[in-house]
Amino acid sequence: MRQGCINILQVCRINIFDYFCTMMKRRNTATQEAVLAVLTSKRRAMSQDAIVKQMDVRADRATIYRILNRFCEDEIVHKIVADDGKQYFAVCIKCDEKTISNNHFHFRCTKCETIECLPTIVEFSAPQNYKVQQMNCVLVGVCKDCD
Amino acid sequence: MRQGCINILQVCRINIFDYFCTMMKRRNTATQEAVLAVLTSKRRAMSQDAIVKQMDVRADRATIYRILNRFCEDEIVHKIVADDGKQYFAVCIKCDEKTISNNHFHFRCTKCETIECLPTIVEFSAPQNYKVQQMNCVLVGVCKDCD
DNA sequence: TCATTAATGCGACAAGGTTGCATTAATATA
DNA sequence: TATATTAATGCAACCTTGTCGCATTAATGA
**Between B9 and A27, residue with greater pLDDT:** A27
* Chain centroid, CA B118 distance in Å: 12
Residues of B in contact with A135 (CB under 8 A): 137-140
Helix, strand, or coil here: B117? strand
Q: Is the pLDDT of residue A12 over 90?
A: no
Q: Which nucleotides of D are covered by protein (CB under 7 A)?
A: 7-13, 17-21, 26-28
Q: How far is A141 from chain B (nearest CA, A)?
A: 4
Q: Is the pLDDT of residue A35 over 60?
A: yes
Distance of alpha carbon A31 from alpha carbon B26, whole angstroms? 53
Taking alpha carbons only, the member of B90, B118, B87 closest to residue B104 is: B118
How much is the pTM?
Answer: 0.89
Helix (H) or strand (E) holding B136: strand B131-142
What pLDDT is stored for residue B61 in this prediction? 97
pLDDT in tens, A86-131: 999 998 765 555 566 678 899 999 888 789 988 888 888 888 899 9
**CA of A104 vs C1' of D11, distance in Å?**
44
* Chain centroid, CA B98 distance in Å: 18
How many CA atoms lie less than 13 Å away from A23 in the CB half-sphere?
A: 15
What pLDDT is stored for residue B3 in this prediction? 47
Distance of alpha carbon A77 from alpha carbon B71, whole angstroms? 37
Helix/strand/coil percentages in chain A, nearest 5: 35, 25, 40
Q: Report H helices in A43-86.
A: 48-54, 61-73
pLDDT, mean of residues A74-88: 94
pLDDT, mean of residues A12-17: 69
pLDDT, mean of residues B64-81: 95
Q: Please tell me which of the candidates A85, A132, A140 has its beta carbon nearest to residue B141.
A: A132
Count of A-B CB contacts under 8 Å: 115
Q: Please tell me which of the candidates A120, A129, A133 has its beta carbon nearest to residue B140.
A: A133
- A33-A36-A38 Cα angle (round to 5): 110
Residue A118 in contact with partner chain B when CB distance is under 8 A = yes
Q: Tell me, what's the ipTM?
A: 0.88
What pLDDT is stored for residue B111 in this prediction? 83
Please tell me whether any atom of strand D lies within 7 Å of the Cβ of A126.
Answer: no
Percent of chain B with pLDDT over 90: 52
pLDDT, mean of residues A15-20: 84
Q: Is the pLDDT of residue B58 over 50?
A: yes
CB atoms within 10 A of CB A27: 6
The total number of residues shown for chain A amounts to 147
Q: Please tell me which of the candidates A85, A130, A142 has its beta carbon nearest to residue B144.
A: A130
**A106 strand-pairing partners:** A117, A138
